Amino acid sequence: MARLAGALAFQNAQSAFSKHSGLRFYSDGKYKTIKVPHMADSITEGTLKAWVKQVGEQVEQDEEVASIETDKVDIPVNSPVAGVLRELLANEEDTVVVGQDLFRIEEGAVAEGGAAKPKASEAAAEAEAAAPAEEPKKEAAPASAPASASASAPAPAPAAPATTPAAARQPKEETKPMSFGEPNRSERRVKMNRMRLRISERLKQSQNTAASLTTFNEIDMTNLMDMRKQYKDAVLKTHGVKLGYMGAFVKACSHALQAVPEVNASISGDHLVFYDYCDVSVAVATPKGLVTPVLRNTERMSMVDVEQEIANLGRKARDNKITVEDMAGGTFTISNGGVFGSLYGTPIINMPQAAILGMHAIKERPVVINGKIEIRPMMYVALSYDHRIIDGREAVTFLVKIKEAIEDPRRLLLNV
């Protein structure tokens, strides 16, 4: 009797829970509660942007169920098991923390109506197979038309209408005064996403912390453009990547960072930290904001290696698959505003780094070469640097080394 009473109590509780939640639960009890995953050491919370799956839908193993927006990247939350999504434990736009219960899934279950889908697809396939068989019947109908036409006497041709002038046939167009209506003076208020808020915070922190100063120079791009024109097809055929200008600039910066170590440093408390490796962050504009994926150990990479890695990161950025690990670290940053047509600018330092290089658009300008005026493709470059670490001599020396390496790419091969 005690066992029977316990079983009845469990059944009543389960029925009450099912009615309260509006869901149907299976009796095997294989429910798993999925928590907000660990995202990165520096990220403890995020905003639940979207539920990719809804309650009652079938979920496969490792299939994305939700998307969490952080101040760096969007983190997909995948289901560790296959089953049916039974309960959502958070709403969209809620702030969720690492380890918080996020959703419940019934492991191994099959969504209602899931078995009927193959039958529907089979019916569609049968309909497609039957459609071509009906087409010949429709095509056979016009074939009988000539026979019936030949049996009957030809009808007399209708009398030709009287010709009238073209002006008389066309209706006269009436010109109406153009109405512009009331001007649109509406406004829209859009909440800033986490990434934009974080970018705002970090850029203002940089301005408030660093003793920022910018020095400029100009680079004759003739030799680099000639080299690219001569070898771009061979590089594409051999390595499967397009030869751009970023590979040369990253290599030139790596060369200059090793020659002027103050630029490849940062402040930690009352110490200066000098890095013996070059991790170059490349600023990339995305629809949600600016991200800076990192190229690791560029001092050991060739131009082609750099171009391949940039292409890989570019694909990940387009597919929204950039991870926190892709953007962690970095000892120096390059920002290429030239792709948008920028002629001149002063980039903001990406803290805690000591400097950032700004590339700009290539424009043909008259310059003096060996006492003669010639038209050359020129680019302005800007180096914003933290004057607490870098003095003017080091900053100018660094930028001149980049200029020399780009104007004569052979220097990068000879390491001079």
Q: Which residues are marked as active site?
A: 387, 391
Q: Residue 178 carries which side chain, given as an amino acid letter?
A: M
Distance CA 397, CA 254 (A): 14
Taking residue 66's Cβ as centre, other Cβ atoms within 10 Å add up to 24
> Among residues 216, 213, 214, which one has the least CA distance to residue 403?
216
Cβ burial of 246 (10 Å; 0-12, 13-18, 19+) is buried
Q: Which residue has the tokens 């808020």?
A: 197
Cα-to-chain-centroid distance, residue 259: 34
Quote the DSSP letter at residue 270: T
Is residue 56 a contact partner of residue 21, using CB atoms and an 8 Å limit? Answer: no
Q: Residue 76 carries which side chain, given as an amino acid letter?
A: P
Tokens in use for 21? Answer: 């939640």
- Which residues contact residue 117 at a Cβ distance below 8 angstroms, ignoring those fewer than 6 apart? none
Taking residue 110's Cβ as centre, other Cβ atoms within 10 Å add up to 13
Residue 75: what are its φ and ψ, rounded to 5°? -105, 120
DSSP assignment string, 280-321: EEE-EEETTEEE--EE--GGG--HHHHHHHHHHHHHHHHTT-
Distance CA 383, CA 107 (A): 56
The vertex-156 CA angle with 154 and 161, nearest 5°, equals: 145
Distance CA 344, CA 28 (A): 67
Tokens in use for 67? Answer: 């998307």
Distance CA 416, CA 276 (A): 18
DSSP strand E in 120-237: where? 212-220
> Among residues 253, 252, 272, which one has the least CA distance to residue 262?
272
